[in-house]
Every structure is written in C-alpha cells, then in structure tokens.
Chains A and B, each alone.
Chain A
Amino acid sequence: MNTFKLIRLNMARKRIRSVLLVLSIAIAFFIYALLASFEHGFKGADSTSERLVVSAKAGAAQLLPISSLDRIAQLPEVATVTYRSNFRATFNDPKNFMGANAVDPSSYAAYFEGQYNFGEGQIAALETQRDGLLVGAAIAAREGWKVGDRIVLNSPFERKLDGTRNWQFQIAGIFEGTGPAIDTNFVIMRYDYFNLGRQNNQDTVANFGILPASGVSADQVIAAVDARFANSAHETQTRTENDFMKAFVEQFADVTTIVQLVVGAAFVTILMIVANTMFFAIRERTLEIGVLKVLGFSGGYIMRAVLAETLWIFAIGVTLGMGAAYGAGIVLSGPLSTIVPSLTLTPSIIVNATLLALVFSLLTGGLPAINAMRIPTTAALKGA
C-alpha cells in the first residue's frame, strides 16, 4: 500500500458519487472543448500575420469600387494589395453551400502566402484559364472533385447577365490550408470572369487586402488608407484581419459571448456541485482524519492527500471530456463542415482546459483540504 493507493481507495468508497463527479466534470469539459473548437474554427485561427482588410466604413456588407485599388496601391505604406468579391455558392443542393471568392490570382496568392498551399502552377493555371476554379481541399474531398472536372455552381444572389444563376467552371487546382485549423471550405475564381459575367454590382469588390511595406506598422497603414478615402463617396475602414473576422462573425451572432455564457454557466454549476460534494465527502471523514493525525500523519500530508484526490477526479473527468470532444469533433466535422471548417482540439484548447481543471480542483479541493489540515485532532476524534 502507499499514499496513492490510499487516495484511490478513498475515491472508490462511494463509487456512484465518484463516478457522478467524474461524469459531471467530463461533461463540463466536453462542452468547453467542443464549443471552444467550434468557436475557434468559426473565427479562424488568430493569425499573427500582418494582413489588413479594407472594407466600407458604412459596414463590411457594403461594397467598394474597384477604382479604389490604384489609390491604395499608390500609398507608400502598402507593399501588396489584392481585392475580392465573395458570395455564397451552392452545388446541386441548395443546402450544400460553400464560400466563393472572385480574386486577382497572383496578388491573392501573395497576400495569403503561408496560409494556403497553392501547389505547383495552380495560380499560373488560373491566370491562363478564364473559367478556372481553385477548390479547397475540404470541398474537393467532400464532392470528389478532381482537376479538370467541369462543374456548375449556383448562386442564390449573383445572377448572370443571361439571367441564369449557373456559373460554369473547370477545376484548375486543389489547394490546402497550411494547418488543420485553416478553413478550406471555399473556392477561388478569377475576378474578371465573375465581374464581366454578373448582372449587378459590376466593378465593385467586397474588400481589399493589404500587406504593409516593410518597416510600416499596421496602425500606420490603417491611418494612411482611411485618411486617403476620408470624406470621399467611399470611405473605408481598415482593420487587421483578426479584427475584421471578429467583426464579420459578430454581425451574425456574438458567438464568443454565447460560447462564454454557455461554458461559463456549465462550469459554475459543475464547480458548485463538485465543491459541495468534496466538502461533504471530506467532512464525512473527519473522524478518519483525526485517526490519521493520531497515527502521526501531518496536517500537510492530509491536505495534500485531499487535494490530490480532487486533482485526480478532475484529471479523469477532463481526460474523458476532452476525449469525447475529440471524438465528437471527428464525427461532427463532416456534417458541420459547411458551417465551421474545422473542429480540431487545438493545443491552446487543451492547455486551457488543463489549466482550468487545475484551478478548479484547487478551488474545490482547497477548502476541504485546509479544513482537514486545520481541524484539531481532539475535535476530529469527536467527529466534529
């Protein structure tokens, strides 16, 4: 026998209680991990890139004229500028949708260098093929598309000059994200092909993308661009890509707040249950703690044993919860791929969950542990 076994035997005493505790912790961390990976996938990874996005000051849904391009490009603070229109496209089934970007291939590739792997010659192929389409690996896998396939995408909102909503393409390449959390659930087409074909909003773009010139800070670029268009008919709001994505997502729903509320409520509830249960579980053992002290076990030893027990309960709970979330992520990532590109447990989610579990086990185990340490032996022997 050893201390570790003693702790294990203590946990096994009220098996149902321990199992319920572990399960409730597992459920809390399951919710946490799943929602955190959902949120993470929805927002995209917090990139540390220098990418900036220029959208209309009136709102990111407003369009900007393509004519602003030259004025942005002329600014000395700007190294690279690209532009895009985007819309929702569907394939076969109106519910089977994907993002569609109409872009300038070479500046787009330069802008997203490091985020997507455009394999050998993909950009060049797109530049020589007017109706070419680069397809994200996630979609290609889902639809079974190969390079050279001819496909027709529909758009509920972008009508063509001929009045139809059917856009013909030939697949020119399949690109991948450079990491598992990078969304590839979209397609890339040429801006000129799209722009000349569409009935409405010709010569507009959704936004511009900028890489700052070397030695120029994001704030300097933001100031320069927005000043250039101040008091014009098309005022701009320039933001870092992270800020832009956040604002974009928050247009629809404040996902972060919802996630935090749900997870927060789950955690607070679980924390109270666990704290309460641990408190009474340890109090039931007051007499035994007294006996241990009589045998010569120190208050510190008893405190550590109680803390170790909570820690252990949390460790099992977190492992189960995170494991379940990992499994659920794999199962759900298929059906949910059109909503959220990836449901991976990123290292930061795992680290956060571990830290949270550590803090919670100290919080819930701390009070009973300190009580157990401090209770005088004579009082404990009376079972007080």
Chain B
Amino acid sequence: MTIQPQENPGVRLQGVNKGYRIGNEQVTIFDDLDLTIPEGDFVAVMGPSGSGKSTLLNMIGGIDRPDSGQITCGFSKLNTMSEGAMGRWRASNVGYVFQFYNLMPMLSAAQNVELPLLLTKLNARQRKERVETVLKLVGLGNRAKHLPSELSGGQMQRVGIARALAVDPKILLCDEPTGDLDRKSADEILEMLRVLNKEFGKTIVMVTHDDSACRFAKRTLRLDKGKFVESAPITAQAA
C-alpha cells in the first residue's frame, strides 16, 4: 500500500508499545506495533477476546495512550498532545460507535445526536438542521423525539451512528457495533457503514467478532498475540 506524500496520511501507528502491570507481572499487549490505515479505508479488526482490539481503537481515537511509539491521525500527532487537546481533536475528527450504543437515557434520539454538536460553534438552529440531516441519513427521521428506551436495539445503534456522524468526522471507530444485534439489524448497520465509507469517504475501523461482518469491510486485520495477521482484502463486498 503506497501513499503519496502530499496525501492525507490517514491513521498511522509506528513502533507502538502498550502493556499493563498487574501486580509484579508486566503483561504486554502490543510490542513494536506498526499499522497504516489510509484515508477512506474500511478495516475490520478481528481477534480473540483480550487480544487488544478495543485498546487499539482507543489509542487511535486518543482515548488511550501507548507506552511508547507514535500515533498520527491525519496531520495530528496524538502521542504529543495534551489530554485537553486530544479531547478537542476528537470532538471534531472522530466518531465513536459502541457495542451497547451508550446513549444518554434521559435524552431523546435528536438530543443524543445533538450532544457532540454542543462543542461546536453551530448555533441552535444550525444544530437542529444538522440533527435532522443525520437522523434522516440513518433512517430515523420519524423517531427524533423518542427516548432510547422507546427504540429497538437496531434503532438505538442507528442513533449511535448518527451521533458519531453529527460533527462530520473523517474517522469512524466502531467497537463491535453489531455485537448486540440480531442478524438482520446487524446487516442493516453494516450496510450503513459500508455506504458511509463508500459514498461519504469515511475512514472506518471496526472491531468485530462476526466473520460475516468482514464482508462489508475493504479488508480485515486479524490481531493475535500483539501482532497483525493481515488477510487479503475481500474483494466481494456485499452489495
């Protein structure tokens, strides 16, 4: 995979080390990990439980830090940023999608989507328009006023995706986005991610345990014992 120097470099991890000290024992999760995810890529990350998939996603999103090594997203060097700077960077550059949706229970679908927009310069009217646009995009234009408790799992995940899309970030990080859904809802969500990647140019990193989810991604990385075993890109993307 070659990248033109003037292009946006996408996501890049170089010599990343990460481990935890539990008692006297040092547990290594990543040892000198290198990874490049070019802009516009859609990567599925698979691997056994505890292999570090969530940790990887969190480091790319600037939620977790490597012990050493470099992480760059676009032109931002995450490992040199302060906590606050990383938060501000994340607010406008990264959309996060969680396995269990993590919607605010007291907020309606629209309010949940509006939440990240409170950190932007948009005024109330502009925020409202943006919320309507993204809710429509995920097919929930008619559920704006519903509370999460009044939505199905698939619908909640659509709200989760709408919230991630609200600030129009370049990168979407999804941690088992279909892990809590039945096959049909899962496929709808995955198809939506595929469209977001293909039509809207979002760079997507998606952790999944679901082999068939990989069909929606451009390529799959298998994480095992702190190393990647890259599968060949699956050419037959689901229609």
Contact = CB atoms under 8 A, between A and B. Distances in A.
A296 B64 CA distance: 13
Question: Residue among B58, B83, B84, B106 with the most chain A CB within 10 A?
Answer: B106
A381 B97 CA distance: 12
Given A296-B87, A297-B87, A378-B64, A13 B105 contact: yes
Interface in B98-127: 98, 102, 104-107, 111, 114-116, 118-119, 124, 127
Contacts of B61: 294
Given A10-B106, A294-B63, A298-B84, A1 B114 contact: yes
B88 interface: yes
A109 B181 CA distance: 88
Contact of A295 (B64, B105, B111, B119): B119
Interface string A275-289: 000000000000110
A348 interface: no
Contacts of A297: 87, 91, 119
B116 A295 contact: yes
B87 A293 contact: yes
A299 B107 contact: no
A10 B105 CA distance: 9
Nearest to B111: A1
B63 A296 contact: no
Interface string B76-87: 000000011001
Interface string B21-60: 0000000000000000000000000000000000000100
A294 B90 contact: yes
A249 interface: no
A84 B117 CA distance: 75
A208 B219 CA distance: 101
B92 interface: yes
A377 B63 contact: yes
A298 B87 contact: yes
A298 to B, nearest CB: 5
Given A1-B114, A378-B58, A378-B64, A291 B87 contact: no
Interface in A4-25: 6, 9-10, 12-13
A287 B163 CA distance: 16
Interface in A244-295: 287-288, 290-295
B73 to A, nearest CB: 14
Given A2-B124, A292-B115, 15 more contacts: A1-B107, A1-B127, A10-B106, A13-B105, A287-B102, A288-B104, A293-B63, A295-B115, A295-B116, A295-B119, A296-B116, A298-B87, A377-B63, A378-B58, A378-B64
